[in-house]
């Protein structure tokens, strides 16, 4: 049974609103996932993420495998119980992190061998093992192991990555079908489309992976250094290739403008470190653009952090106070900025869903993109 149902589709763009059913709840698309790499969103508790509100978060297979390890996770009863989170969990396969260990990893047809970034110990990820690790984690949505080359990779590297990704996806799906969930709840599994910015390669990858008949499709290998125009070209093209009746997940993207432009091209799911990482570096997002709260001009600016009514915490404190917290390295500053940015992202996604339902999204998006300051 298809866990995804489209309730609204625009006839002016690829934008749509749907419902994705998982073992730990139903979520309306399009949505954005806060990053909980190690099973925690930095500076926020599970309850605070729930109260954003967010029904889903993303954790990372590689990092959870390294620490705390599958033995601890299984003893805890899975990641949901370990971190006291009753919502949906999606786990990335860890392929991107392993690929980033340049000089510490070696890729072969069976998988990838690598050294831990912590202690140098040697490990091996095969497509089958990555499925097993995610069984131990108990995530609601699992990603297949893929090869994610950097943005400056050659076409030859893209082809090699694509071919290995397809081979590994077939092995992943076979092992997924042969194994059962450890904690009794159903887990969705998704392949990841690769191919760099070459449209023919992207089409080849998508068609090969569609043959596996999985419940969703992810688009990887973007936001890795390529020009934004190239990224959007790939997203727009894949909107015409990937099946309409299954959710599309654009991995690692992005800025508020990226979200809006990608939703116009049929994307349903997003994750990115930008709202939380940038918050810890004193950058706040809002409907009028971005501000760096460390800037001296905010030292005596006693206006509220944000005048728009999407976050109570942003109306409780002044820019001057948050500026002071960052200047004095107070942890509260990181917490306020992180909550502010995540609430902005959640509000933005709610607003987008409303605009799609009202058949006004394209006009709203044009105004938003013209006004929004990405600089």
For residue 4, the cross-strand partners are: 20
Of the candidates 92, 146, 268, 306, the residue annotated as catalytic is 92
Decide if 92 is catalytic.
yes
Q: How far is it, in rounded angstroms, from Cα 66 to Cα 236?
A: 36
- Are the C-beta atoms of residues 269 and 249 closer than 8 Å to each other? yes
| Residue carrying the six token digits 């709202």 | 275
Q: How far is it, in rounded angstroms, from Cα 72 to Cα 291?
A: 41
* Cα–Cα distance list, 49 to 1, 158, 171, 335, 342 (Å): 30, 37, 35, 12, 9
Give me the torsion for CA of 219, 133, 61, 243, rounded to 10°.
10
Q: How far is it, in rounded angstroms, from Cα 283 to Cα 356?
A: 29
H or E element that contains 209: helix 199-210
Q: How far is it, in rounded angstroms, from Cα 98 to Cα 113?
A: 9
Nearest Cα residue to 127 out of 84, 183, 177: 177
DSSP letter at 304? B
Of the candidates 55, 140, 146, 271, the residue annotated as catalytic is 271
Give me the torsion for CA of 176, 178, 183, 184, rounded to 10°.
110
DSSP letter at 296? G
Residue 136: exposure state from Cβ atoms within 10 A (0-12, 13-18, ≥19)? buried
Decide if 271 is catalytic.
yes
List the catalytic residues. 92, 271
């Amino acid at each position: 049974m298809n866990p995804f149902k489209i309730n609204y589709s625009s006839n002016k763009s690829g934008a749509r609103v749907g419902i994705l059913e998982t073992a730990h709840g139903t979520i309306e698309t399009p949505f954005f996932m806060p990053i909980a790499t190690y099973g925690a969103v930095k500076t926020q508790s599970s309850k605070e993420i729930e109260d954003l509100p967010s029904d889903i978060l993303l954790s990372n297979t590689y990092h959870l495998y390294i620490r705390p390890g599958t033995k601890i996770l299984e003893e805890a009863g899975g990641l949901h119980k370990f971190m006291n989170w009753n919502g949906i969990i999606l786990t990335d396969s860890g392929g991107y992190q392993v690929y980033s260990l340049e000089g510490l990893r070696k890729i072969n047809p069976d998988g990838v061998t690598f050294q831990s970034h912590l202690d140098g110990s040697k490990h091996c990820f095969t497509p089958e093992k990555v499925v097993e690790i995610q069984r131990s984690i108990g995530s609601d949505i699992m990603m297949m192991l893929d090869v994610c080359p950097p943005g400056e990779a050659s076409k030859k590297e893209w082809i090699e990555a694509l071919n290995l990704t397809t081979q590994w996806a077939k092995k992943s799906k076979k092992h997924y079908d042969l194994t059962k969930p450890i904690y009794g709840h159903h887990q969705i599994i998704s392949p990841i489309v690769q191919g760099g910015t070459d449209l023919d390669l992207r089409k080849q990858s998508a068609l090969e992976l569609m043959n596996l008949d999985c419940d969703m499709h992810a688009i990887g290998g973007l936001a890795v250094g390529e020009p934004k125009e190239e990224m959007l070209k790939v997203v727009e093209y894949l909107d015409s290739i990937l099946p309409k009746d299954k959710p599309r997940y654009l991995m690692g993207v992005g800025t508020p403008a990226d979200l809006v432009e990608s939703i116009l091209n049929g994307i349903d799911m997003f994750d990115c470190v930008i709202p939380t990482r940038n918050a810890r570096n004193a950058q706040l997002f809002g409907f009028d653009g971005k501000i760096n709260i460390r800037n001296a001009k905010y030292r005596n600016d006693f206006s509220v952090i944000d005048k728009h009514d999407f976050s109570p915490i942003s109306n409780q404190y002044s820019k001057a106070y948050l500026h002071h917290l960052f200047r004095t390295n107070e942890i509260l500053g990181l917490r306020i900025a992180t909550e502010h940015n995540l609430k902005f992202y959640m509000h933005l996604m709610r607003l987008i869903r409303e605009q799609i339902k009202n058949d006004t999204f394209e006009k709203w998006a044009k105004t938003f993109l013209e006004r929004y300051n990405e600089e």
